[in-house]
Structure 1
């Protein structure tokens, strides 16, 4: 089953005296690109969270946003980083000496500075475990969305593959009639130009033209690539890049088929094939 690269999932959890919300967004990208927006108290977890997400997502641009807010005071006391307070006051005193009119600030303003409040060791471990579980749960929901959308993309691509097979079959059936019409036109034309045409030489020319206009190899390769696309769609591993390559190969054969077209119907078949390939290419841009 293929996966889409576009999805969203969000969750909330209460961890200690905090309420945390996690949002995961993914869009299409050539590689796996993971970015974070985390509160300062969770910066120490960024590498672990990156590894957690990268283990499940192989392709796409991923944005992980985690917000936190303290719950109403439940009797727990604040843990103050006294070294950070001392450093902050010393820096403020140094700056005030250079000011004409120093401004005072309150203890609450000091507490609001990053790094002044700190988590105890027990709180830190609880936070790490809780956040990992929250992100893991959200990631699971995100993957479910990617799989659902991927299944829809797979159906659309498979439908177009089956339609392409119909056009390839039509082209194969049409080719003998095209060669017969070409043979007839050439004979008529030469008969008009030469009173006594050399039909042996004409047969040689017809063999040469038939080889030049033979599209059997292109039709065989188109059929092979279409079969491969349908096979790849059933794989569980990320297949977006392989499908990209197959679209290039299909387009190359469709272009060659168009260049060898000898009548209006064959040209139209080539155009229809290229339209279907382009539609599939657009869908595959969003496949992991």
Structure 2
């Protein structure tokens, strides 16, 4: 089954005091390239993220966007030193009374005093966070793969139709091929008759057969047609495999183009030339589609 190189995957979870979002966007690329964009405080997990993606995707440029946020209700601890607060309040009240001041220390002022209230950040468990992050990365990559498989299935149907059309045109060329030699013999005899018009004309059968044999050997496209049909069969087989086959399909289309070009140059026939134009157009359409295949 073909897989497209384009796609999108997403996974999100809130646990252990964190909200984590992993998004993966994939586009065409000749090789596999994984780029990770995440907060600097968590860069120690970058290699694990790349590995989790690479294990599932073998080709394409993959941009991984990691968002990590601490949830509001977790992660911080507020500590209040009530004993210190009482002492500060008592000392402030005593001073105000001694100085004859009516004002008393407000609660807001009291809480701003050093060491009365402190907020500390709870230390996160990096191993726990790392496991969650890699788990979500794998889930996002699996989501991406499912999307690529769905698109790949559509591509497979399209290119299979074009290869089937190519096979039909190839059959037309195969049917036309045996007629080339006999038609060449007729044209050769006609030219000889025209050249020797009004003269006693006797065809040198041996010489004529030699000329025809030379042409038959030079213009024979049997081998090219056999190889082209073989390539079409290989193409069908690759469409059914579960392995990444983008590069193999690309190489196969190049080989098919080479056979079609050779057929066009050797046949020297108008009908076959028209078929060759159609075959090249079909192969170009296939080539454009498989540029999107993993």
TM-based fold match above 0.5: yes
| Residue 21 of structure 2 corresponds to residue 10 of structure 1 | no
Match of residue 256 from structure 1: 262
**How much is the aligned-residue C-alpha RMSD, in angstroms?**
1.7
Match of residue 58 from structure 2: 58
> In the alignment, is the contact (CA less than 8 A) between 2:76 and 2:122 conserved in 1?
no
Whole-Å separation in 2 of the counterparts to 1:199 and 1:161? 43
Whole-Å separation in 1 of the counterparts to 2:247 and 2:6? 16
Match of residue 284 from structure 2: 278
Distance verdict in 2 for CA 1:118–1:190, change over 3 Å: farther
**1:154 offset after TM fit, Å?**
1.1
| Residue 170 of structure 2 corresponds to residue 164 of structure 1 | no
**1:72 offset after TM fit, Å?**
2.0
Match of residue 23 from structure 1: 23
Match of residue 175 from structure 2: 173
Which consecutive residues of structure 1, in runs of 5 or more, have no partner in the other structure?
79-116
Match of residue 97 from structure 1: none
**1:268 offset after TM fit, Å?**
0.9
Moved more, 19-28 or 69-78: 69-78
**1:118 offset after TM fit, Å?**
7.3
Aligned length: 249
Match of residue 69 from structure 1: 69
> In the alignment, is the contact (CA less than 8 A) between 1:15 and 1:126 conserved in 2?
no
| Residue 217 of structure 2 corresponds to residue 215 of structure 1 | no
**1:238 offset after TM fit, Å?**
0.8
Distance verdict in 2 for CA 1:28–1:119, change over 3 Å: farther
* Aligned 1:58-207 pairs, distance under 5 A: 58-74=58-74, 76-77=76-77, 120=123, 122-194=124-196, 195=199, 196=201, 197-207=203-213
Match of residue 108 from structure 1: none
**TM-score, with structure 1 as normaliser:** 0.82
> In the alignment, is the contact (CA less than 8 A) between 2:77 and 2:122 conserved in 1?
no
SS at match of 1:58: coil
Match of residue 32 from structure 1: 32
SS at match of 1:72: coil
> In the alignment, is the contact (CA less than 8 A) between 2:75 and 2:122 conserved in 1?
no
SS at match of 1:25: strand
1:5-28: CA deviation from partner (whole Å, max 9, x where unpaired):
000112221132222211101111
Which consecutive residues of structure 2, in runs of 5 or more, have no partner in the other structure?
79-119
Whole-Å separation in 2 of the counterparts to 1:182 and 1:157? 37
Whole-Å separation in 2 of the counterparts to 1:129 and 1:181? 75
**1:245 offset after TM fit, Å?**
1.0
SS at match of 2:292: coil
**1:264 offset after TM fit, Å?**
1.7
Moved more, 15-24 or 272-281: 15-24
Distance verdict in 2 for CA 1:171–1:280, change over 3 Å: same
> In the alignment, is the contact (CA less than 8 A) between 1:213 and 1:260 conserved in 2?
yes
SS at match of 2:267: coil
Whole-Å separation in 1 of the counterparts to 2:181 and 2:204? 20
Match of residue 116 from structure 2: none
Moved more, 14-23 or 54-63: 14-23
1:206-240: CA deviation from partner (whole Å, max 9, x where unpaired):
11111111111110010001100111111111111
**TM-score, with structure 2 as normaliser:** 0.80
Distance verdict in 2 for CA 1:265–1:125, change over 3 Å: same
Whole-Å separation in 2 of the counterparts to 1:246 and 1:43? 42
Distance verdict in 2 for CA 1:191–1:118, change over 3 Å: farther
